[in-house]
């Protein structure tokens, strides 16, 4: 449970006690039976309200106690919309409430005050997040931080439904780019490592300041994304890692590619394949200073029998909680779109803009020939193209027993932005019109990919 929900539940309880007491105040003698109305009759409820504040750990006479008392009085006032709203809450979150852009910015500014009003407020905030169900943190907050927290609750209680088109955060791709943008609040070295690494108490104010200084319209989505982070929602990359096929279906479809590429692809139904879905059970055996291995699952989807295949690859783990996934859209040897998603790497989606890639994909493979195949850009490794030499043709069953047709060996080289060379050995499987990687070698060692099983649907 996050800090906002815990504080709100505590306030709801206090407000409800005060409201119940107000409703239960004795009526004047011989008064006629009241007709049902929404407003409560006025009564002197100060003692009851002070008792409610005391129940939250505050001395009503203290500065914090007076702040709480003012809020409880407002929350139980018979003519206040806050009274009705706060008692009808059911553990909402900042993201679920769809605050308007202006309300989000005001909330973030107040949250910054909650964390930085005094040197101890951030520790109180972080400890409160860890203490499941406890509301002791409230009377440990400084007066400024406490007032800021109550102000955020009031904003969220009184806000009206918004038609702001950034409420959903945009497409998955836009959410990923927004997440990447939030991380630019921190200084990083050439390897993407934060320098110096900020503490958690430094990170949140840095990100809030970053968002508050961001120009519109980027600010709108950035404010929503940051509130989701502070509300302990999974980040955009984490959501993709949990459900990669959702992102694959939204963004990795030839119908959303640039017209120059889309118009060069075969018509639907013109390249029939013997599967709609293929799942490869793989093992990557790394042979460096030590030998290690990792199991992977690669899923390939044939949507329209036009030679274009969508795919995603991720580690095979029992928990399903993977730390990376690579998504792609390919046609022949050409990659049309790709994205390596990992929560700590700020890689962007890469898109194919070179017509030469489609030309290479349409070129019949003949032993001894050389093909240059451009990569989508920006490539997160900084590679621009791969140069492949076509090898001999053999039976696909020599690669894996279940496979039919021919396998054509391809020996490719790629050069990164830093000059590192990677050698790739793959095979082109003619019956399935897809490429399967057999080994990858670079300055760090050699990885061999072993196929353990293939299932076609």
Q: For position 31, what pLDDT does the model report?
A: 45
Q: Which phi and psi (to 5°) does residue 285 adopt? A: -105, 115
Q: For position 166, what pLDDT does the model report?
A: 55
Q: For position 183, what pLDDT does the model report?
A: 87
Q: For position 78, what pLDDT does the model report?
A: 58
- The predicted-structure confidence for 425-442, as pLDDT tens digits, reads as follows 999 999 999 999 999 999
Instruction: Summarize the confidence of residues 66-73 as an average pLDDT.
Output: 88
- The predicted-structure confidence for 384-423, as pLDDT tens digits, reads as follows 999 999 999 999 999 999 999 999 999 999 999 889 999 9
Half-sphere exposure of 70 (CA within 13 A, CB side): 11
Going by pLDDT thresholds of 50, 70 and 90, the confidence category of residue 56 is: confident
Compute the distance between CA of residue 90 and CA of residue 352 in angstroms, rounded to an integer: 47
Instruction: Summarize the confidence of residues 367-384 as an average pLDDT.
Output: 94
Average model confidence (pLDDT) across the chain:
85
Contact 232, 129 (CB under 8 A): yes
- The predicted-structure confidence for 130-182, as pLDDT tens digits, reads as follows 776 567 788 789 999 999 999 988 888 787 766 555 566 789 999 999 999 99
CA-derived radius of gyration, the chain: 30
- The predicted-structure confidence for 220-270, as pLDDT tens digits, reads as follows 999 999 998 888 888 899 999 999 999 999 999 999 998 989 999 999 999
Q: Which phi and psi (to 5°) does residue 326 adopt? A: -120, 125
- The 3-state DSSP class for residue 96 equals helix
Q: For position 26, what pLDDT does the model report?
A: 46
Beta pairing partners, 411: 389, 425
- The predicted-structure confidence for 23-52, as pLDDT tens digits, reads as follows 444 444 444 444 444 444 445 577 888 888
Compute the distance between CA of residue 188 and CA of residue 310 in angstroms, rounded to an integer: 33
- Give, in order, the Cα–Cα distances in Å from 103 to each of 151, 155, 163, 227, 297: 11, 7, 13, 11, 43
**Cis peptide bond N-terminal to 298, omega within 30:** no
Contact 226, 209 (CB under 8 A): no
Q: For position 34, what pLDDT does the model report?
A: 47
- For 342-351, b/e burial (b = at least 16 CB within 10 A) is beeebbebbb
Strands (E), 323-397: 325-331, 334-341, 350-351, 370-374, 385-395
- The predicted-structure confidence for 264-314, as pLDDT tens digits, reads as follows 999 999 999 999 999 999 999 998 778 899 999 999 999 999 999 999 999
Q: Is the pLDDT of residue 22 over 70?
A: no
- The predicted-structure confidence for 322-372, as pLDDT tens digits, reads as follows 999 999 999 999 999 999 999 877 789 999 999 999 999 999 999 999 999
> Which pTM was predicted?
0.81
Residue 119: partners with Cβ closer than 8 Å, 6 or more residues away: none
Compute the distance between CA of residue 218 and CA of residue 221 in angstroms, rounded to an integer: 6
- The 3-state DSSP class for residue 90 equals coil
Q: Is 337 left (phi over 0), alpha (psi -120 to 50) or beta?
A: beta
Percentage of the chain modeled with pLDDT above 70: 82
Instruction: Summarize the confidence of residues 94-104 as an average pLDDT.
Output: 75
- The 3-state DSSP class for residue 281 equals strand
- Counting Cβ atoms within 10 Å, is residue 261 exposed (0-12), middle (13-18) or buried (19+)? buried
Angle at CA of residue 127, ends 209 and 58, nearest 5°: 100
Among the listed residues 300, 359, 362, the one whose alpha carbon sits nearest the alpha carbon of residue 329:
300
Among the listed residues 290, 288, 312, the one whose alpha carbon sits nearest the alpha carbon of residue 300:
312
């Amino acid at each position: 449970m996050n800090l906002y929900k815990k504080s709100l539940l505590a306030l709801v309880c206090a407000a409800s006690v005060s409201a119940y007491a107000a409703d239960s105040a004795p009526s004047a003698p011989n008064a006629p039976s009241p007709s049902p109305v929404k407003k409560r009759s006025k009564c002197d409820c100060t003692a009851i309200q002070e008792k409610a504040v005391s129940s939250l750990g505050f001395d009503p006479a203290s500065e914090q106690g007076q702040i709480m008392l003012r809020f409880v009085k407002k929350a139980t006032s018979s003519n206040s919309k806050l009274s009705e709203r706060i008692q009808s809450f059911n553990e909402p979150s900042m993201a679920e409430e769809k605050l308007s852009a202006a309300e989000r910015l005001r909330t973030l500014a107040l949250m910054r005050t909650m964390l930085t009003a005094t040197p101890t407020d951030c520790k109180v905030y972080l400890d409160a997040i860890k203490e499941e169900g406890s509301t002791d943190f409230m009377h440990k907050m400084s007066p400024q931080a406490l007032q800021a927290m109550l102000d955020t609750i009031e904003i969220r209680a009184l806000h009206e439904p918004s038609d702001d088109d950034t409420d959903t955060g945009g497409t998955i791709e836009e959410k990923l780019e927004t997440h990447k943008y939030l991380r630019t609040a921190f200084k990083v070295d050439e390897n993407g490592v934060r320098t110096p690494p900020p503490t958690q108490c430094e990170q949140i104010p840095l990100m809030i300041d970053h968002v508050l200084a961001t120009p519109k319209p980027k600010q709108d989505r950035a404010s929503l994304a940051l509130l989701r982070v502070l509300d302990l929602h999974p980040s955009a990359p984490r959501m993709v890692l949990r459900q990669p096929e959702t992102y694959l279906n939204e963004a990795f479809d030839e119908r959303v590619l640039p017209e120059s590429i889309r118009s060069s692809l075969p018509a639907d139904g013109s390249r029939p394949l013997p599967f709609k879905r293929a799942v490869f059970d793989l093992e990557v055996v790394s042979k460096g200073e030590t030998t290690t291995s990792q199991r992977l699952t690669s899923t390939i989807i044939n949507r329209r029998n036009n030679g274009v295949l969508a795919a995603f690859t991720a580690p095979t783990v029992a928990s399903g909680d993977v730390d990376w996934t690579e998504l792609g859209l390919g046609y022949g040897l050409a990659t049309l779109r790709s994205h390596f998603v990992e929560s700590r790497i700020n890689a962007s989606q890469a898109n194919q803009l070179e017509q030469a890639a489609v030309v290479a994909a349409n070129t019949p493979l003949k032993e001894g020939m050389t093909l240059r195949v451009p990569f989508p850009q920006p490539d997160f490794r900084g590679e621009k193209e791969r140069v492949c030499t076509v090898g001999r043709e053999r039976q696909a069953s020599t690669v894996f027993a279940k496979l039919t047709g021919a396998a054509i060996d391809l020996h490719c080289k790629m050069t990164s932005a830093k000059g590192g060379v990677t050698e790739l050995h793959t095979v082109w499987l003619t019956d399935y019109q897809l490429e399967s990687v057999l080994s990858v070698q670079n300055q760090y060692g050699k990885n061999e990919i072993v196929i353990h099983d293939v299932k076609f649907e």
